[in-house]
């Protein structure tokens, strides 16, 4: 299970790296205004998703 989790995490890291490359390229080559900045701390996003998952049963009832 640990190897599986490490592999999934590495996949997430690679996706983030590609997103950073895409945004950096856009900012350098096409963006004429304020550069797009990305936030790499997903703590709030995960908390929001967990909250929504935990409250789905409340919406159904």
Give residue-wise pLDDT tens across range 42-56: 999 999 999 999 998
Q: What is the average per-residue pLDDT within 19-48? A: 97
What is the per-residue pLDDT for 56? Answer: 84
What's the structural domain count of the chain? 1
* Spatial contact of 48 and 33, defined as CB atoms under 8 Å apart: no
Give me the percent of the chain exceeding a pLDDT of 70: 92
Compute, in degrees rounded to 10, the torsion defined by CA atoms 17, 8, 6, 51: 100
26, two tokens: 């856009």
Please check the confidence at residue 57 and state whether its pLDDT lies above 90. Answer: no
- Find how far residue 48's CA is from the centre of its chain: 13
What is the per-residue pLDDT for 59? Answer: 61
- Boundaries of domain holding 46: 2-60
**What confidence tier does 5 reach under pLDDT thresholds 50, 70, 90?**
very high
Q: What is the helix, strand, coil percentage profile of the chain, to 5?
A: 75, 0, 25
């Amino acid at each position: 299970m640990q190897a599986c989790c490490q592999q999934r995490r590495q996949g997430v890291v690679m996706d983030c790296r590609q997103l950073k490359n895409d945004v950096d390229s856009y900012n350098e080559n096409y963006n004429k205004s304020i550069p797009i900045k990305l936030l790499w701390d997903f703590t709030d996003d995960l908390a929001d998703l967990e909250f929504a998952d935990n409250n789905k049963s409340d919406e159904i009832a």
